[in-house]
Structure 1
């Protein structure tokens, strides 16, 4: 089913990369511009939902992924103000950081048994991790960790060190040295990089998470609809920065978070790209890049708007054609996903399809979920359209994606001026088909330019 209202894990979720299928777009995928803002949860309700999501993830996703990667135990360690990015993905809704020294130990006892989840810390770490250390014992935390590992039949111990995966490199040098000293040569020899496991853990979504992320995207679309209106933008008076800071103030007022500061650009006949204190005028094409954080999940959306000149009812035909070109690129990228073993594979296929159709543009799409620029394979970069090491990872089922790209098109009404039509929309891949969370933009937001309004 399209959308996020009925989300199902597929058989492909057992861990296989993409299977051959066809990703189809139609007008049914068109986004409703400016939808009504959904209810925003209170901080207390959000924390409750985050705890539910985390409990389901640990019970249903983590055992499968540890076995998929051949990991018997996973150790995460961090100190206050020196957090490990992956450890934070295990924190309860009310916990914001590691406290003093925090060590988490996750053990797969095998034989299909539930995972053991332990905390070796002075303070409680939610309800999932059971305290396994008494500070009064005078036994050091790393010594306690080593003793617990020696008492279990663990062959491969994953630790968060990696030369090339930022998500899996959260164990500091000091922490690593102290851990290895407590482990001794025998246990230290069993340690391996957690990198493949970290990527799979961070990129994989449960059905409940996909539903909640759909809510986050709908909220994002609703806020953008407000911003792209005369409620916020008065042509001839409102600057790009005025609108940009309205977005920051709006999400703060709603109690929402964001993972980057939004940007707004202005494209105008006969002018280079404008931003900052440039004032929005009738006839302008506006571009925004904006994201929201809620439930520990992120959105990342780019929308286009046109400011009508007096007497206009729609954007000029050349601008509408540019938007259709960007929509065509979206369709070509989704068609490239089935059968692609990696992000690089999808990039090569979509670039070839663009060349066949004579489309000038760039593709720079990325995983999306617990992080805005999430763990997993990139599909191109805005400044590099060649296959890269960061695009070599597999494309797996039940992963969230930000389909980000731009088509460059000449606008006849602007004297043939070339304009980038930048779009970014969010959805998920089930192993056979791609589903938009809340549709995707196929028409401009239209802002009346008549000063009398």
Structure 2
């Protein structure tokens, strides 16, 4: 995509921080709410000027119409609102028009309210009370050859055009223009999954904030062995997120694996020395989500590190991360990448479960999936292509017996956020390679 300036926009891979005991990450500076709003609007302006032209030309579309209603935002419009607009107002119609010959893509809003100066107002209700007829006039004036609307049977992210909006729009359009409308299932996904240069500059700090919160929770600042329960730690994480004026897109999970105990212990189970702790944790700030899973070990009296069997299990999960990342190929399906990674891992004696997914505006974001925890075979949700300039949660698990636990099989779950530039996958802010130790 030469017009996107892809080569110039590639961001150097961050240093591969090794997280764990002896490497507890410090908190990055957390911007104020006002600073975050400024950053959101600047990032959105950048995306509208770079991502939108790229994906429209990639799809051969010269007009893209996106429609939403108040409190029923479709996924694309929800990410195109300025930082001070929390929802669409009444009915919001956005129009993108590419006049061709390398000229800028025109951005219009056919609605009663402005859009933070990012879209030019294109409807005067005093002159034309009917919003759909105003849209039809815009279309007729510009004479687009191919008009895309978001419609998909496969992905909720691309299925934003409701039946009522479809019927009303088509009733207003002239017959010739109506014939040019195509139900597109790719533009929305491309908008949502594509990361801009500015987002890639901000994302490591955001991921680092999530990692720092996890590390503090996996310490004696939050855990008193013999007293603190799994549920206590879950709510410690929620309180910490709120104290930092951040958001989360899911309730954190904290689980305990213990010698002699079957499965994952949660809820009112009290954390004890000798336990392996697991957390699944995510935050959202500046509209970017994180998704992280880390492990901790609660030291027994006299211990200075986790048992060798646990450390070997974490090393196996780290190796599975490397295998999965090396299996990425631009343009291949998530299913193909899953199969390649599983074959390579099994050949090395690893017992793998891979369930990696895109991340960005949503935690489980738009794009092709690479496996599911409950399905390690090909899946329709993994049939789409994996594209460059996308961000990923490399989520997986290696199972391994722990000699110190009498050969009991433990699950070593890991999840870290990463960037795929089309050639290789790199961590956004490092990964965990050693247990956090709770004393």
Q: TM-score interval w.r.t. the shorter chain?
A: over 0.9
Q: What pairs with 1:27-176 in structure 2 (closer than 5 Å)?
A: 28-31=16-19, 33-176=23-166
In structure 2, the partner of 1:226 is 216
SS of residue matched to 1:137: coil
Q: Partners in 2 of 1:123 and 1:196 — Cα distance?
A: 28
Q: Partners in 2 of 1:319 and 1:122 — Cα distance?
A: 60
Q: What pairs with 1:9-20 in structure 2 (closer than 5 Å)?
A: 10-11=6-7
- Say which of 288, 297, 307 aligns to 2:288: 297
Over the aligned positions, Cα root-mean-square deviation in angstroms equals 1.9
Residues 36-64 of structure 1, C-alpha deviations (whole Å, 9 max, x = no match): 11111111110100111011111112111
SS of residue matched to 2:75: coil
In structure 1, the partner of 2:407 is 416
Q: Partners in 2 of 1:31 and 1:182 — Cα distance?
A: 58
Residues 378-434 of structure 1, C-alpha deviations (whole Å, 9 max, x = no match): 111111111222212222221101000000111111111111100000010111121
Q: Which moved more, 1:186-195 or 1:45-54?
A: 186-195
- Say which of 272, 277, 284 aligns to 1:286: 277
> Structure 2 unaligned runs (5+)?
none
Residues 191-237 of structure 1, C-alpha deviations (whole Å, 9 max, x = no match): 22232111111111112101111111000011011100111110111
Q: Partners in 2 of 1:412 and 1:232 — Cα distance?
A: 29
Q: Partners in 1 of 2:392 and 2:16 — Cα distance?
A: 19
Contact 1:9–1:207 (CA<8 Å) still a contact in 2? no
Q: Aligned residues, how many?
A: 431
Post-superposition shift, 1:105? 0.6
Post-superposition shift, 1:28? 4.7
Q: Partners in 2 of 1:338 and 1:125 — Cα distance?
A: 38
**Is the alpha carbon distance of 1:9 and 1:245 closer, same or farther for their aligned partners in structure 2, counting shifts above 3 Å?**
farther
- Say which of 256, 260, 269 aligns to 1:270: 260
SS of residue matched to 1:288: strand
Q: Partners in 1 of 2:189 and 2:221 — Cα distance?
A: 42
Post-superposition shift, 1:338? 3.9
Q: Partners in 1 of 2:9 and 2:378 — Cα distance?
A: 26
Post-superposition shift, 1:335? 1.4
Post-superposition shift, 1:30? 2.2
Post-superposition shift, 1:159? 0.8
Alignment of 1:329 onto 2:320: yes
Post-superposition shift, 1:68? 0.4
Contact 2:394–2:415 (CA<8 Å) still a contact in 1? yes
Contact 2:329–2:386 (CA<8 Å) still a contact in 1? no
In structure 1, the partner of 2:305 is 314
- Say which of 202, 207, 224 aligns to 2:192: 202
SS of residue matched to 2:186: helix
Q: Partners in 2 of 1:353 and 1:302 — Cα distance?
A: 23
Q: Which moved more, 1:137-146 or 1:275-284?
A: 137-146
SS of residue matched to 2:110: strand
In structure 1, the partner of 2:438 is 447
Contact 1:13–1:430 (CA<8 Å) still a contact in 2? no
SS of residue matched to 1:319: helix
Alignment of 1:390 onto 2:381: yes
Q: Partners in 2 of 1:9 and 1:73 — Cα distance?
A: 22
Higher relative contact order (CA 8 A, sep 6+): 1
TM-score of the two chains, using structure 1 as the length reference: 0.92
Contact 2:399–2:412 (CA<8 Å) still a contact in 1? yes
Q: Partners in 1 of 2:69 and 2:330 — Cα distance?
A: 43
- Say which of 380, 392, 401 aligns to 2:392: 401
In structure 2, the partner of 1:350 is 341
Post-superposition shift, 1:29? 4.8
Contact 2:53–2:105 (CA<8 Å) still a contact in 1? yes
TM-score of the two chains, using structure 2 as the length reference: 0.95
Q: Which moved more, 1:181-190 or 1:202-211?
A: 181-190
